[in-house]
């Protein structure tokens, strides 16, 4: 949160006001850019702020700025110039911004190409109707949009590149579906309400960070690895950091398979079934989270381990460090501290104590940013 302080100065009896604006950003990602009043003059500097396993994600850096002027999505196969779909399907680096506040009701899934940034700062942008698809791409940043009330989409001929449209199948209604992709950063988004997952990361995807997002009113939130048979996900590495899991969140915050996952400094204001779950022997580092258990006495367990007997899951490396366990929350660790490579250690976010999480996550979700002012 940005705070502004003012000092009155007197000269010859005439008072003048000087803005000594001091911006206070809660976490390391926000400290990288939010306190700069000229953020809108150098939007692409945001890419330098990626942290966790998606560190180094460039998005559309170096490319042209594309401004969405038209909120319609009437033709998914041949989108009009100025629409979001026309912007994110170009085969070159592109930095997408928005001319004004808008609600974009997608008629079909929105297929996003590599080297793309969707940057909603400075406008109130809502995406509804159908979800976002990242399929076999790299270097994508999704920042500052509200994705909600997603529905299944029927499929058909859909624009997915500079070339002709391609045939796409029916979707399950995910908010953001990441498949076979790497260097993906999702930051300061608000996500809620849909028939399937809010964010699914599957099938050899890796180098993913989900940060500073606000999740509400949903059953199954974040899926990191979709099936115990997908052994290609053994190389998945993902960071879940500084997110707020608020009202109406039931489970999968996240649910993990096979890979290496850092779940760090998130705020869990309760859950329905569980907070963090997994199967297929993932490594989960739970560090500096705030777990406030629900009132129901049979729902105090933070974790769910699935598809394995106790003698097996006891070997899984699910570790807890600096977590704050409130309202009777129970975290039962297993395994040992994993042996990480120097490269993996370098990409871990240094956890603050769980008691600090309310401050670290107090700006989670879409921000209200004004050009010329700290955000």
| Domain count along the chain | 1
Give the SS3 label for residue 121: coil
Average pLDDT over residues 179-183: 98
11, part of any domain: no
Mean pLDDT (the chain) is 93
pLDDT beyond 60 at 88:
yes
pTM of the model: 0.93
Dist CA 112 CA 100 (whole Å): 21
34, part of any domain: no
In percent, the amount of the chain with pLDDT more than 70 equals 94
What confidence score (pLDDT) does residue 12 get? 33
Residue 121 among the catalytic residues? no
**Full domain range(s) for residue 68:** 42-360
pLDDT beyond 90 at 357:
yes
Phi, psi of 66 (to 5 degrees): -110, 125
pLDDT band at 25, cuts 50/70/90? confident
Task: Tell me how long the chain is.
Answer: 375
Rounded-to-10 torsion of CA 311, 348, 225, 95:
170
Structural contact between residues 205 and 181, judged by C-beta atoms closer than 8 angstroms:
yes
Burial 166-195, CB ≥16 within 10 A → b, else e: eebeebebbbbbbbebbbbbbbbbbbbbbe
Active-site hit among 34, 85, 168, 252: 252
pLDDT tens-digit profile of 5-22?
222 222 333 323 223 346
140, part of any domain: yes
24, part of any domain: no
32, part of any domain: no
18, part of any domain: no
Dist CA 189 CA 184 (whole Å): 14
Q: Is the peptide bond before 254 cis (omega within 30 degrees of 0)?
A: yes
What confidence score (pLDDT) does residue 226 get? 93
CATH classification at residue 193: 2.160.20.10
pLDDT tens-digit profile of 252-283?
999 999 999 999 999 999 999 999 999 999 99
Compute CA distances 135 → 26, 318, 353, whole Å. 33, 30, 36
pLDDT tens-digit profile of 218-236?
999 999 999 999 999 999 9
Query: What string of DSSP letters covers 321-365?
Result: ES-EEETT-B---BS------HHHHHHSPPPPPGGGHHHHTTT-S
What confidence score (pLDDT) does residue 24 get? 76
**Which residues, 6+ apart, have CB-to-CB distance to 183 below 8 Å?**
54, 56, 57, 58, 138, 139, 140, 207
**Which residues, 6+ apart, have CB-to-CB distance to 260 below 8 Å?**
236, 237, 238, 282, 283, 285, 338, 340, 344
367, part of any domain: no
368, part of any domain: no
Which tops the pLDDT comparison, 149 or 26?
149
């Amino acid at each position: 949160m940005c705070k502004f302080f003012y000092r009155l100065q007197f000269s010859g009896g005439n008072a003048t006001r000087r803005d000594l604006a001091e911006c206070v950003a809660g976490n390391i990602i926000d400290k990288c850019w939010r306190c700069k009043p000229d953020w809108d003059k150098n939007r692409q500097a945001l890419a330098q702020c990626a942290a966790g396993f998606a560190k180094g994600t460039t998005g559309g850096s170096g490319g042209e700025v594309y401004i969405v002027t038209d909120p319609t999505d009437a033709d998914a196969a041949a989108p009009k110039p100025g629409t979001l779909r026309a912007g994110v399907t170009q085969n070159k680096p592109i930095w997408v911004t928005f001319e004004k506040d808008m609600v974009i009701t997608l008629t079909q899934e929105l297929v996003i190409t590599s080297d793309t940034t969707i940057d909603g700062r400075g406008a109130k942008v809502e995406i509804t109707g159908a979800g976002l698809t990242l399929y076999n791409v790299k270097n994508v940043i999704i920042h500052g949009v509200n994705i909600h009330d997603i529905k299944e989409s029927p499929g058909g001929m859909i624009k997915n590149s500079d070339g002709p449209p391609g045939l796409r199948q029916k979707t399950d209604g995910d908010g953001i579906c990441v498949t076979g992709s790497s260097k993906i950063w999702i930051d300061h988004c608000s996500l809620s309400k849909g028939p399937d997952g809010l964010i699914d990361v599957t099938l050899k995807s890796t180098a993913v960070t989900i940060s500073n997002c606000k999740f509400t009113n949903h059953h199954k939130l974040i899926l990191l690895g979709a099936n115990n048979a997908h052994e290609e996900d053994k190389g998945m590495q993902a960071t879940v950091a500084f997110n707020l899991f608020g009202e109406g969140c039931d489970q999968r915050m996240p649910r993990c398979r096979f890979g290496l996952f850092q779940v760090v400094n998130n705020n869990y204001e309760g859950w329905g079934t569980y907070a963090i779950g997994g199967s297929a022997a993932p490594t989960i580092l739970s560090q500096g989270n705030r777990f406030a258990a629900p009132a129901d006495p049979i729902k105090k367990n933070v974790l769910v381990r699935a598809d394995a007997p106790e003698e097996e899951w006891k070997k899984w490396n699910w570790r807890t460090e600096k977590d704050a366990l409130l309202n009777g929350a129970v975290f039962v660790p297993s395994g040992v501290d994993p042996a990480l490579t120097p490269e993996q250690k370098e990409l871990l976010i240094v956890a603050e104590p769980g008691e600090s999480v309310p401050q670290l996550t107090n700006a989670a979700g879409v921000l209200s940013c004004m050009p010329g002012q700290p955000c």
